[in-house]
Amino acid sequence: MKNKILLTITCLAFFLSYSQEKITWEHLAEVTYTEKFFPSYDDYFLYPAFSTTMKSLSGKKVTISGYFLDVDPNGQLFILSKGPMASCFFCGVGGPETAMELQFKTKPNFKTDDVVSITGILKLNKDDVEHFNYILTECVGRLVE
């Protein structure tokens, strides 16, 4: 009996440590921005104030679906977008909350505008203007059919 309880607790702990939250673009939209001056750039940038929900997901494994964008000719920057390339926020549609930076374990074989589901560790970024506000690290992904 004692061994069964120990095994159950171990399995539950293993499952919880590898569980993931499914998030949506509506979750990412739970952010407000103010302009903040960054002296090192001598310029103002949008400074995010993340929702309590998003703060609670920081550092956790999450899954989200969207459009894959390969925007770097050197293959170093990958983005997940709420919309396809023609309507991404770079083109003036939506804000920074409609895109996430993806940092993959291994370079993916996706093409721009493939609809994908990505799982990774969520990082909220306020201060590094060279990266997106939402970053997924240790990413793995699959095509959505």
Eight-state DSSP code of residue 126: S
- Residue found by looking up tokens 């560790």 in the block: 121
Residue 72's pLDDT is 84
Between the CA atoms of 9, 121, 113 and 97, what dihedral angle is there, to the nearest 10 degrees? 120
Q: Is residue 97 part of a domain?
A: yes
Full domain range(s) for residue 137:
20-143
pLDDT digits (tens, 9 = 90+) for 94-139: 778 899 999 998 888 999 999 999 999 999 999 999 999 999 999 9
The pTM of this model reads 0.82
Closest by Cα among 87, 138, 79, 133 to 110: 79
Residue 15's pLDDT is 43
Q: Is residue 35 part of a domain?
A: yes
Q: Is 80 within 8 Å of 68 (Cβ atoms)? A: yes
pLDDT-derived band at 3, boundaries 50, 70, 90: low
pLDDT-derived band at 91, boundaries 50, 70, 90: low
- The DSSP secondary structure of 41-67, one letter per residue, reads TTEEEEEEEE-HHHHHHTTSEEEEEEE
Q: Region 31-43: what's the mean pLDDT?
A: 95
Retrieve residue 66's tokens: 């969207």
Q: Report how far residue 66's alpha carbon sits from residue 73's, in angstroms, rounded to the nearest whole number.
A: 21
Helices (H), the chain: 2-18, 25-28, 52-57
CA 16 to each of CA 12, 60, 105, 110: distance values in angstroms, whole numbers, following the listed order: 6, 11, 22, 29
Q: Is residue 1 part of a domain?
A: no
Q: What is the CATH number of the domain that holds 129?
A: 2.40.50.870
Q: Is residue 6 part of a domain?
A: no
pLDDT digits (tens, 9 = 90+) for 45-90: 999 999 999 999 999 999 999 999 988 888 788 999 999 887 766 5
pLDDT-derived band at 145, boundaries 50, 70, 90: confident
Domain count, the chain: 1
Q: Is residue 4 part of a domain?
A: no
Residue 123's pLDDT is 98
